[in-house]
Amino acid sequence: MISVIVDDLALTQADAILRPATESLGPTSPAIANLDEKAGPRFAEQRRVASPLKAGAAVVTGSGDLAAPFVLHVVVQDQETTKAGREIVRRALVSAWQRATDWELGTIATPLVGVDSGQLTVEEAVTLLAETFPAEPKGFPTELHIVVDRDADRALVEAIVRRIS
The residue range of the domain holding 50 is 2-164
CATH of the domain at 104: 3.40.220.10
Helical (H) or strand (E) element with 72: strand 70-77
Say what the alpha-carbon torsion angle 39, 44, 45, 46 is, to the nearest 10 degrees.
60
- The reported pLDDT for the residue numbered 80 is 67
pTM of the model: 0.94
Distance, in Å, from the CA atom of 64 to the CA atom of 42, rounded to the nearest integer, reads 5
Counted domains in the chain: 1
Residue pLDDT, tens place only, 32-75 = 999 999 999 999 999 999 999 999 999 999 999 999 999 999 99
